[in-house]
A and B are shown apart, each in its own frame.
Chain A
């Protein structure tokens, strides 16, 4: 790994210029050509809808009638909307608690399942399956049954606690559901773990490093780009989480589990305050941008091999 850094800087140095006729072989233009599909896709499919929704954020709009421009009113309304403010707190709590838990879990299981034996295919499938069935009705029904006052969890614990009916614990039922669906992060970890050169481990074993030490000296540092990727993605997912709340608690009890996006959805499509909903969405973009920017700022302190 150590020898990779200097190579990278050499490559990215602007000194390297090639004069080849085909623009795809020109280092300066090749980047544009390879990223062209995204540039086109973004301009074609994202820019206009995003601009329209940004416009709605400044409108009174009920979907059925044309939007009416009202300036900053929708944003001002957030200041006096107690449920809105509560939903921000709930969402931060959910995102900041469930994301690290999910990643730790995913990495742990990925390490366990790295070895190839007869059963590992089956194991990988079983650990991934919960993510496939995702937000289906069956999950919602069963999850409620499990955490019900007379449900499985209480039976195992021998108590009679209303997990879903208590404002302090209901959010944890959703957090655990999110953690249970760690499959996609696990797969990404698996493929990244496989990318780590086996020779490094062999050398470390010759040096007598134990498993724990090998993890912290080799696996973890080389995995930091993937950890960072998963962290960014899952954090964004966490802030935008919708399904868990929508299918299980619907924000109950007393808005203690009201996700930001669920409240936004209700405003947009249940109460038909669609302009207000759009304004909420753009505030969420600002929140996530800020969080992501902070993450990217910390990147140079702990992530190997920057890349982007």
Chain B
């Protein structure tokens, strides 16, 4: 319990520092809020006057992406809510990740977006800037959405242009999962908050001693690069431009270049044989021989459970922070997913009430069981933690005891154009790993093409 108290104190402190750090934000937020609450009031007056009073039957749609477990639990939570709130009907619609975004975009184009949608850090900016998401500030102010027990950093992460448009559905942190059996064999100790140099040294030793290679997230290098550049105080993907300098980029591209040359990094041909991003096929668990397997993988804390299930007999998987020249500056806690209410909803009040249920109700979260990540409501998180199994408890401890004491505030949500710029980055790393270009050319190419992709989207 004491640990929990310190963590909460920590969170409060950090929240305070965030708000203090951006002095203007607080006031800007309230003024924006009062404006929109007026707008919200007028819109409810015209469209659904009795929305607040729950007199008539209310029918809403709640959409999310996820796997079987999530679909099951969320559907059960909806059923419970409907039982507790007669007259409210919620239709749960679930899709696979890629399909979900295609469906949401098309539905939004036709003005048919669901009332409540699960959101992702990659998309909230785009949806918020195009006016698809409802500003929740007035509902937090009038208490419909109770934020008193929340991690304030996470509240900040769902804020775009001073409007709170998304509430974190579960906290997450970068996690390096490694095969302790192999590191032990190589006589290497992996400690938390490892620097990049220590990591590279470990990678080399492991390769020399065991033949196992290192997974540097080939194909999904946006996040690691983002992470590394935070140590230089740089937000890589900025609004309309890339913020890193050529020197900063070259420094990290060099790691990829050297890794291939020196042999300790998994080459692109290994990734060509698998589906990148599918943890079931990750070289750490699915590799057939040491030169096609990795001793590590760069993931997120909520993927640790699934990774652990994939571990073969005698494979001991542990979790630590991603490497960085300055771990404290690099590391962060991320909202795994968000929930948002869309601006087109006919029942904003009811939608927010349901959102409040999802986030703050212990009864609801007893059903959801933190499947989306660590709940931001500290009471809820505490209650769930005691019911979790050993693996899931490990994730809680990792976030509260390893990451939270030694991290910085997450970068603002990705700007419009991030998807294309991220693709450019991966292509550049691909060329680099195929030996077509060197680290400095890679930096040039990324700055030119990635910058252009972001610039094309700014102002739109």
Contact = CB atoms under 8 A, between A and B. Distances in A.
A55 B235 CA distance: 37
Interface string B130-150: 101000000000000000000
A109 to B, nearest CB: 29
B7 interface: no
Interface string A264-276: 0010011111000
Given A60-B460, A150-B289, A254 B130 contact: no
5 contacts: A62-B130, A162-B269, A254-B427, A272-B105, A272-B126
A62 B108 CA distance: 11
The 7 closest A-B pairs by CB, nearest first: A165-B269, A165-B272, A148-B273, A162-B269, A64-B130, A164-B272, A271-B420
* Chief secondary structure at chain A's binding surface: loop
B14 to A, nearest CB: 33
Contacts of A64: 105, 108-109, 126-127, 130, 132
B274 A144 contact: yes
Given A150-B288, A165-B268, A271-B420, A65 B460 contact: yes
* Chief secondary structure at chain B's binding surface: helix
Contact of A254 (B101, B102, B127, B436): B436
A150 B271 CA distance: 13
Interface in B415-441: 416-417, 419-420, 423, 427, 430-431, 434, 436
A244 to B, nearest CB: 14
B43 interface: no
Contacts of B419: 270-272
A140 interface: yes
Nearest to B102: A269
B269 A254 contact: no
A149 B420 contact: no
A141 interface: yes
B106 interface: yes
Contacts of A141: 275, 281
Interface of B: 101-102, 105-106, 108-109, 126-127, 130, 132, 267-276, 281, 288-289, 292, 416-417, 419-420, 423, 427, 430-431, 434, 436, 453, 456-457, 460
B113 to A, nearest CB: 10
A144 B275 contact: yes
Contacts of B102: 269
Contacts of B269: 149, 162, 164-166
A124 interface: no
Interface in A226-280: 249-250, 252-255, 266, 269-273
Contacts of B274: 144
Given A162-B269, A254-B431, 5 more contacts: A64-B127, A140-B275, A148-B273, A253-B272, A269-B102
A147 B272 CA distance: 10
A149 B270 CA distance: 8
